[in-house]
Chains A and B, each alone.
Chain A
Amino acid sequence: MNLFFHLGRYFILIKRVFSKPEKLSVYMKQIIHEIDNIGISSLPIIAIISFFMGGVITIQSAFGFTSNLVPLYAVGFTVRESMLSEFCPTIVSLILAGKVGSNIASEIGSMRITEQIDALEIMGINSAGYLILPKIAAGVLIMPFLIAISMFLGIAGGYIMGIAVGAVSSYEYVFGIQAFFEPWKLYYSFTKVITFAFLITSISSYFGYYTHGGALEVGKSSTSAVVYSSILILIFNFLITQLFYT
């Protein structure tokens, strides 16, 4: 019953979020602000994680492929496949669920407990639309770019670290990252990213919006936002993978 209550309330909130904005120009400004808040501020952490993960996968693959039957260009191929298919779209989204999700839930939750959302409502503004729509739009717009940067840095990290430790030659690595490339996997990856961006921003906003009480409840909402966003990312990752691979 609790699940149905939350599902129902979530969809009612989403309906309110997508109702006609009071003034488009104000919403556009908010979207740009949120792109900075959600996207640009997440870039450093994503860059660092992706770069080092690319390096680690390269080294593990290079020293793990001990059979002479496996060519060394398989290292580049492995890095590309893991970065494009799983690490960047899914694992980076999980990291963003933690960073962005908790940020959104605590921001909106704090606004709720300090009556700022009531103030918006009394002014005649659709508070759900004004607060949540720009976050969802910004997330869906900016996250594909973040993940594209993450993919590039992951592969670049693999190249730089692989060469630096002598695990793989430049020619083999570059040959490997170009080998057996299937473009549809990019559609698969970016479909996942856009879905995850929507899930992270909308679920976190939902938990923030319905916060009741004080600072303790804001903390609980933040935690719930991260937990439920992460679980739903994993479930939708499975569903989308099923759709594309079967």
Chain B
Amino acid sequence: MIEIKNIHKSFGDHKVIDDVSFVFEQGKTNLIIGESGSGKTTVMKLMVGLHEIDSGEILYDGQNFPVLGVKEKQEVRKKIGMLFQGGALFDSQTLEENVRFPLDMFTTMTKEEKLERVNFCLEKVQLTGKNKLYPGELSGGMKKRAALARAIANNPQYLFCDEPNSGLDPKTSIVIDNLIQSLTHEFNITTIVITHDMNSVVEIGEKILYIYKGKPWWTGNSKDILKTTNPELVDFVFASGFMKEVFNAVKNR
């Protein structure tokens, strides 16, 4: 479980995050949603320590992450898996080397054990047999899946996904969403997904935090969000005609 308490962040005079609190539960896909520029990626970067908070607390199973020393932070980070928006796979390494990388760095596994684990992770993301391919040889969807395999290689307790569906077609997006959710349930991971894709919200949103202009505006789940009367959230959710039709269908059911 990860809990954020009253976190604030400003860049110069510009306040980006204003008193955000939320509990990200273990074994659930926790979503942070919001418009572009609302501060959702900043919240995630604050949580993993890529930016420093101005005030507040970020508790990883009770450990206040921002006040930890460098080594203690590294120990927490070893329990984190992260799927970046662009994949962030290492270009000079094959898929197998990419997925094996955290195992090489932090485990004492034998070569055979590592290969077995790599193959297991690649199978989980439906990339069996693609071990020797380089990131440059993969499609956008395959890159995301490969990055997900790397993120889960070292059995993370916490999984962060930054806009996992950006740039993907709807069918591949659903595959990625389902993968994230099934991995979360299977390995009981605390998963945090940053997204503005409403399809993902409806599909996998077990717990949702809606951020509006850097403030926590609404919390709930995928069922609650379709019934919301919060005007800003209604604008966000039903911005597309497709979502309006979904909403009407749910209402008439």
Enumerate chain A interface residues (CB-CB to B < 8 A). 22-23, 26, 110-111, 114-116, 118-119, 121-126
Contact = CB atoms under 8 A, between A and B. Distances in A.
A124 B77 contact: yes
A124 B88 contact: no
Contacts of B85: 115
Contacts of A26: 104-105
Contact of A122 (B82, B89, B106): B82
A135 to B, nearest CB: 13
B189 interface: no
Contacts of A123: 77-78, 80, 82, 101-102, 105, 154
9 contacts: A26-B105, A114-B86, A115-B84, A116-B91, A118-B84, A119-B84, A121-B50, A121-B77, A124-B80
Contacts of A118: 50, 84, 88
A141 B231 CA distance: 64
Q: Size band of the B side of the interface?
A: 20 to 34
Contact of B82 (A119, A125, A126): A119
A129 to B, nearest CB: 12
B88 A22 contact: no
Contact of A119 (B75, B88, B105): B88
Contacts of B179: none
Interface string B74-96: 11111010101110111100000
Majority DSSP secondary structure for residues of B touching A: mixed
Given A23-B105, A123-B102, A115 B75 contact: no
B73 to A, nearest CB: 8
A208 to B, nearest CB: 14
B115 interface: no
Interface of B: 48-50, 73-78, 80, 82, 84-86, 88-91, 101-102, 104-106, 154, 160
Nearest to B104: A26
Contacts of B91: 110-111, 114, 116
Contacts of A115: 84-86, 88
A116 B90 contact: yes
Contacts of B50: 118, 121-122
Contacts of B84: 115, 118-119
A194 to B, nearest CB: 27
Contacts of B104: 23, 26
A183 to B, nearest CB: 41
Contacts of A111: 90-91
Contacts of B75: 124
A212 to B, nearest CB: 13
Contacts of A116: 88-91
B35 to A, nearest CB: 22
